[in-house]
Structure 1
């Protein structure tokens, strides 16, 4: 990491994964914005050293976290931390924002459109931010339904957020933009009989604002993250900056394609909807690995056969009854995370967020079945899942399954409690199956020698790979898959349910929604290199 720091604004900041990686890459946070106060509590604790929970109990307003709009005054921080952010955006009467001093170096909690409204009402603050010469604007807004055509964006406020992101770039004029999103953004959706590609629409929106987009589809596992996590990435450079980059790498075909698209958009602003999928492209790491060389795209660090496995990621903290000291975890994947990312604010002590959830016998017995069927071959695994979820299977498959189960210790319940044993008869297996049915199709056990599957925000969908751990994963284990260091503490509620699901962002969701810090570091290194060159 260079000593020279570049200035960085983070939108849709979540719990801080992107900011943590970019900080290591050489970017200094100018300010951040996050809608959820629950995710914001984690961001503030780790990235700003602000303990909002402690301040709320002391009834002391935060100096580093400001609310764009809230239904409660600053003194009622405890209520702000559990506030529905959508209600705050609509009905909030209180705002902490007055001048640039309320923004610079702060985390701003609230809706980005309310922040844009504040900027519209205070153009002198926008001018002050522009004068700061911001290097990078980053974030991951929901994009899957976005279209410049306008019909579908009226149905869901989230589909407007890419437009808000692009407008924010147009206002503040950073040198570069970094956008992260799910793979689904590349799948077409239908709007009034027309097919639209959200990634292409997003690229147009930034081109209209004066940014030349460079787009890619990558996977976190290629960059040292213990997770099979495909993600769409757009790096966009302000036209004057792009021209200087282009002068350095004018033979690069990626840059030529981007410039042609940018010029096409700006020459056809009145007819931009007719610019289609034939006019631009993104580069998939699976098809063009040679382009991911650290020049325009991040450099691949791990290839097939060298991906970080589940065992490497969480094998050293398998026993949740043990308290693990962060300072003693120095080797392997976890040691790399703990030394790569610096803890600036808090004593490390023991790792947090590693409390297991309690399960009844039926759940544990099912988890054991999921572990066992990972060993099955020749289509038997699918047959076992169908059997669990109530689908009909033919008698031949059922008999093959039960015979296969005879070779493994299953989990039973008897007069003396719960225990493992190998069944001796097909009847024992069949009777056990009848007592633990499920309608869940998404549940599965981890494969210990493979990267973890794409991170899920619902903790019940994955169970541990080891037979002595018939449980879902802890927040810490899921954070390991996302490449968070062990000193990074997740705050607020662990999980949620009921109506809270509509607006609460508990710890599991914070982890699942985050940008892996290792991936953010690799992306940040490329942007840093191009900007400083």
Structure 2
């Protein structure tokens, strides 16, 4: 097996989850691009070993455009990236070396740089890039809709594909949410974003293979469905196809490529009847490491919440990276290696301050998460003010009589954990802790985490001693980041700044799980090795 490191470019790099996984799979980063300076700060620190804090001029992190000079790094890190595109400052000159660099800014500005300075593309192509990866927003993308250009996000998948077309890597990896497979309507016509994105790559000379997988099958303790498109440059695909001509997956892709190239001037003729994606839930046998990544964890072996974060349950303790007790955490720190001080403390594990009302509400969620036989729904109905029959109320009291809820003792001005004596006590408590959020829930101790990890208030800890939201570190564990990986910038944000700020919680939630990236990267690398050996 060829041990040579492959080269990859990361677009929409985020905080570095994809790059971290690909590095463990044997890829060297050639170049990365990320819109958000906040996420970019985390990427630079962990992937490029470059600290951006303090007014100095970084060497490996360059701004495509900014309203601030290079030595005003603190201002750049808090700059609205959508306003930065109109700035007069740029770190990219004709003689700039892009190798091992992170470029902060809009991908469309990067595309303009490549089009205006073709020598950059020449240099990159001489390096023979093996993989370009990334996760552009694709939910409403259609090649037809691009004529309107009414939504900035609608152009991003095309920009991704165009850069791929310019650089001509051997392979491509695109990650996106499950929603990309749901149809949307535009000008009275129904479109499927995943299909439109696939067409865009064919137009650039690449053959796509599409799949729906779930991170939990690859050792990630999270029930996280994800759409994956991996594409091959046509000459690479042909070599793979010649070796595995009877492969069902490659046949589907080959026929789709031919259909798109035949109908370039009338792409609407190519529909979902001409292509399909392969779902890990319905066709697990195809995820065998030949074309699709190999399943590494079976249904009876999914990593649970307690396995993921049980060893760092109490945030007030100071945990050392080298001293973690959990098998899962040790595995992550072994797979994703990095040199660090032996006494390095785990960062990003500060708990948020909650009022009694929030803690009491979270305790309620923890309790009802344990209810069986449909009583959980009944408890939710009770909590949200829906009518509950007398019979159901009696059954709910039976369940609540086994659990302590968090009440407030006004007489002694303190919080108390007690088992409610009757359903009226439960209802009185509910009146004190109302919420308009219906997505909130508690983790299940012996199940993987649910998919929604972007908004910190949506989930609370599973343990009754900890009626609180997860820390950034705990969320990072669920995303399969090693404990030495430190998230930078603000912890959270709100208000108007939500539109452009990417704080730590969002960085984690938006990231590609490194273990998933490694599994896909391993598989693509194996395919390139097979082709190389032929």
**TM-score above 0.5:** yes
User: Which whole-Å CA distance do the structure 2 matches of 1:201 and 1:346 have between them?
Assistant: 48
- Aligned to 2:229, what secondary structure does the other structure show? strand
Q: Deviations over 1:62-93 (max 9, x none)?
A: 0010000001010110000000001112x211
User: Which whole-Å CA distance do the structure 1 matches of 2:2 and 2:428 have between them?
Assistant: 63
- Aligned to 1:305, what secondary structure does the other structure show? helix
1:284 corresponding residue in structure 2: 279
Alignment of 1:491-502 (within 5 A): 491-502=488-499
Is 1:68–2:54 an aligned residue pair?
no
Cα pair 1:141 1:162 within 8 Å, conserved:
yes
| CA positional deviation for 1:155 | 2.8
Cα pair 1:146 1:152 within 8 Å, conserved:
no
> Residues 106 and 151 (structure 1 numbering): CA distance in 2 closer, same or farther, change over 3 Å?
closer
2:228 corresponding residue in structure 1: 233
Aligned partner of 1:94 among 89, 92, 96: 89
Q: Deviations over 1:451-489 (max 9, x none)?
A: 000042110010000000010000000000000000000
1:504 corresponding residue in structure 2: 501
- Aligned to 2:145, what secondary structure does the other structure show? coil
User: Which whole-Å CA distance do the structure 2 matches of 1:21 and 1:426 have between them?
Assistant: 50
User: Which whole-Å CA distance do the structure 2 matches of 1:177 and 1:379 have between them?
Assistant: 45
- What is the total number of aligned residue pairs between the two structures? 528
| CA positional deviation for 1:437 | 1.6
1:221 corresponding residue in structure 2: 216
| CA positional deviation for 1:194 | 1.1
> Residues 154 and 390 (structure 1 numbering): CA distance in 2 closer, same or farther, change over 3 Å?
farther
User: 5+ unaligned residues in a row in structure 2: which ranges?
Assistant: none
| CA positional deviation for 1:347 | 6.6
Alignment of 1:415-454 (within 5 A): 415-416=411-412, 417-454=414-451
- Aligned to 1:419, what secondary structure does the other structure show? strand
1:35 corresponding residue in structure 2: 35
- Aligned to 1:236, what secondary structure does the other structure show? strand
1:146 corresponding residue in structure 2: 141
Cα pair 1:411 1:421 within 8 Å, conserved:
yes
Alignment of 1:122-271 (within 5 A): 122-150=117-145, 154-271=149-266
User: Which whole-Å CA distance do the structure 2 matches of 1:282 and 1:147 have between them?
Assistant: 18
| CA positional deviation for 1:402 | 3.3
1:26 corresponding residue in structure 2: 26
| CA positional deviation for 1:330 | 6.0
> Residues 504 and 10 (structure 1 numbering): CA distance in 2 closer, same or farther, change over 3 Å?
same
Cα pair 2:442 2:462 within 8 Å, conserved:
yes
Cα pair 1:18 1:514 within 8 Å, conserved:
yes
- Aligned to 1:124, what secondary structure does the other structure show? helix
User: Which whole-Å CA distance do the structure 1 matches of 2:340 and 2:399 have between them?
Assistant: 53
> Residues 512 and 289 (structure 1 numbering): CA distance in 2 closer, same or farther, change over 3 Å?
same
User: Which whole-Å CA distance do the structure 1 matches of 2:366 and 2:276 have between them?
Assistant: 40
1:83 corresponding residue in structure 2: 79
2:467 corresponding residue in structure 1: 470
1:308 corresponding residue in structure 2: 303
User: Which whole-Å CA distance do the structure 2 matches of 1:327 and 1:3 have between them?
Assistant: 29
Q: Which moved more, 1:216-225 or 1:433-442?
A: 433-442
User: Which whole-Å CA distance do the structure 1 matches of 2:249 and 2:367 have between them?
Assistant: 46
| CA positional deviation for 1:238 | 0.2
Cα pair 2:206 2:233 within 8 Å, conserved:
yes
User: Which whole-Å CA distance do the structure 2 matches of 1:153 and 1:349 have between them?
Assistant: 52
Aligned partner of 1:360 among 352, 355, 359: 355
> Residues 2 and 315 (structure 1 numbering): CA distance in 2 closer, same or farther, change over 3 Å?
farther
- Aligned to 1:364, what secondary structure does the other structure show? helix
Q: Deviations over 1:89-147 (max 9, x none)?
A: 2x211100013534221100000000011111101111111111111000000001000
Q: Which moved more, 1:311-320 or 1:265-274?
A: 265-274
Is 1:532–2:526 an aligned residue pair?
no
Q: Which moved more, 1:481-490 or 1:342-351?
A: 342-351
User: Which whole-Å CA distance do the structure 2 matches of 1:408 and 1:95 have between them?
Assistant: 60
Cα pair 1:330 1:339 within 8 Å, conserved:
no
User: Which whole-Å CA distance do the structure 2 matches of 1:81 and 1:116 have between them?
Assistant: 22
User: Which whole-Å CA distance do the structure 2 matches of 1:409 and 1:254 have between them?
Assistant: 53
> Residues 157 and 347 (structure 1 numbering): CA distance in 2 closer, same or farther, change over 3 Å?
farther
- Aligned to 2:376, what secondary structure does the other structure show? helix
- Aligned to 1:487, what secondary structure does the other structure show? coil
- Output the TM-score relative to the length of structure 2: 0.96
| CA positional deviation for 1:383 | 2.0
Q: Deviations over 1:347-399 (max 9, x none)?
A: 76010000000111111111111111112123221122222223343444334
| CA positional deviation for 1:170 | 0.4
Cα pair 1:153 1:159 within 8 Å, conserved:
no
User: Which whole-Å CA distance do the structure 2 matches of 1:348 and 1:204 have between them?
Assistant: 51
> Residues 100 and 209 (structure 1 numbering): CA distance in 2 closer, same or farther, change over 3 Å?
farther
Q: Deviations over 1:156-202 (max 9, x none)?
A: 21111000000000011111000000000001011112111100000
Aligned partner of 1:384 among 361, 367, 379: 379
User: Which whole-Å CA distance do the structure 2 matches of 1:439 and 1:221 have between them?
Assistant: 30
1:523 corresponding residue in structure 2: 520
Q: CA RMSD in A?
A: 1.5
Cα pair 1:329 1:338 within 8 Å, conserved:
no
Cα pair 1:402 1:430 within 8 Å, conserved:
no
User: Which whole-Å CA distance do the structure 2 matches of 1:426 and 1:389 have between them?
Assistant: 15
1:52 corresponding residue in structure 2: 52
User: 5+ unaligned residues in a row in structure 1: which ranges?
Assistant: none
| CA positional deviation for 1:250 | 1.3
User: Which whole-Å CA distance do the structure 1 matches of 2:316 and 2:20 have between them?
Assistant: 29
User: Which whole-Å CA distance do the structure 2 matches of 1:324 and 1:403 have between them?
Assistant: 40
